[in-house]
A and B are shown apart, each in its own frame.
Chain A
Amino acid sequence: MSLPATEDFNEGNGVTPANWTEVYNGIQCTSLDRGKADTPADYNIAYWASDVFSNDQYAQARYVGGNGYGGPAARVSGSGGTRSAYYALLGQVGASRLSKVVNGAITDLIAPGGISDPVNNDIAKVTVEGTSIKVYYQGVQQGTTQTDSSLASGSAGVIFFDTNTELDDWEGGNLVASQFARPDSDVADGAWTPSTGSDLYAVVDETSADDADYMRSAMSPVNDLAKLALSTLGTPGDGTVTLRVRHRRAP
């Protein structure tokens, strides 16, 4: 399979969805094709097991209400007593929060109520990048950015505290930083010349805008085709690739 991973919880009422590993208690599909906990009044944690996630990852899900607690989880790992994860524990009684569980020990990182409660159908998302953890609803950050280094790796997943909260449209994936492609060799010079040295790419490969060196064409370069190769980029995933070109005409 490939990331981002998605889960619609449509495998039948009471069925544990395929592709998931249950870390502590478990999860199941409902008759309304939503996800919920197996076990009432206790933690239920599971992660997507059919893909390997990078350390910088996200998990998100549509919050569909109920009077309990649940939410997306990131860097989920372990089993039983070694269960570990960062997660948004979301409810509708003014006590939503950001927490972690490390080897079964739960610590609240942002106070209950420190994150506003989601409204039904909000897409709630947890991101972990390095030691930086954030919670979003509908793409808008909730609460403040938290720093924690307890968990270095794991998988995207989900957590419920009880059977009264349901989630749907779960998605987990990798966070990919913006990538920048830069010229790294000359393919064809055309009639262009570098302002210094002999390589065109070397005068336009700066990491920030700099007019000190440049490549120059004849007065009318309409048929002067210079070709430069670009540096290798990683697979973008859900990130972006940026290529910036600046040009200036002589007066």
Chain B
Amino acid sequence: MAKRFYIVPKSGDGLTKDTAFRPKYLDAIGGWAAMDLGLEPTMLVCGEVTNAQHTSINANADVIAVPQNLDTQVGANLATVQANLESVNIPADWITSGMTYRDVLRWITRLFVFHQRAARLIGKFFAAGFTLDSLIGDIPQEKRQQLNSVAQNLGIDTSAITLSTTVRQAFRILADQLPAAPSLNGVQL
């Protein structure tokens, strides 16, 4: 058994204790702790799995598996890592080949923290047709003001964000100012 990180879709509908939102594929295995990306359909999970379970989980096309050794550098996998993360609306253009997966995970938890707080006020962020390359000016004014309130509530300086800032740039500015999760499922980040 080993504790491994995955980014997976949510399962469940969140309506009852038995159908609570949980990390897809890991839900059936147990032994996990997870963070949700607000109301986006994505979770970061650290599960305790066997090699066979990992192979089974990783065989699914909608799973992003993180190498077990978090101190491995992204290296030649850079393009794949970036494409995988951006496919679930996690900005990844800031990642370099010299970064470790722990570096990447640490920043991702910062983004998750922002989404979690924002979700309660504004609901799901990525409406249809909205992408990381959309502009802050494309966000309806009321929602934009609510986002600004969330940022201020979290103690974030938003002065560098303008209407022409892209969502990916804004998320970088916002998440950079938040503390990372110290650990997930007991694994230090």
Contact = CB atoms under 8 A, between A and B. Distances in A.
B181 interface: yes
B14 A147 contact: no
B31 interface: yes
Contact of A148 (B15, B116, B182): B116
A188 interface: no
A114 B31 contact: yes
Interface in A37-91: 43, 69, 84, 89
A147 B120 contact: no
A148 B19 CA distance: 20
Contacts of A103: 120
A231 interface: no
Contacts of B114: 149
A103 B116 CA distance: 12
A102 B22 contact: no
B34 interface: yes
B94 to A, nearest CB: 21
A246 B26 CA distance: 53
B117 interface: yes
B153 interface: yes
Contacts of B21: 105-108
B101 interface: no
Contact of B33 (A84, A110, A161): A110
Interface string B106-126: 000100011011011000000
A111 B116 contact: no
A106 B16 contact: yes
A187 B102 CA distance: 52
A144 B16 contact: no
Contacts of A131: 113, 179, 181
A195 interface: no
B16 A147 contact: no
A131 B35 CA distance: 12
A114 B32 contact: yes
Given A144-B183, A144-B186, A152-B153, A106 B14 contact: yes
A106 to B, nearest CB: 4
A105 B14 contact: yes
A108 B120 contact: no
Interface in B151-189: 153-154, 179, 181-186
B83 interface: no
B34 A147 contact: no
Interface of B: 14-17, 19-22, 26-27, 30-36, 38-39, 109, 113-114, 116-117, 119-120, 153-154, 179, 181-186
Given A147-B113, A149-B113, A149-B114, 15 more contacts: A43-B17, A105-B21, A105-B39, A106-B19, A107-B36, A108-B22, A109-B33, A111-B26, A111-B34, A113-B30, A144-B33, A144-B186, A147-B182, A152-B117, A152-B153
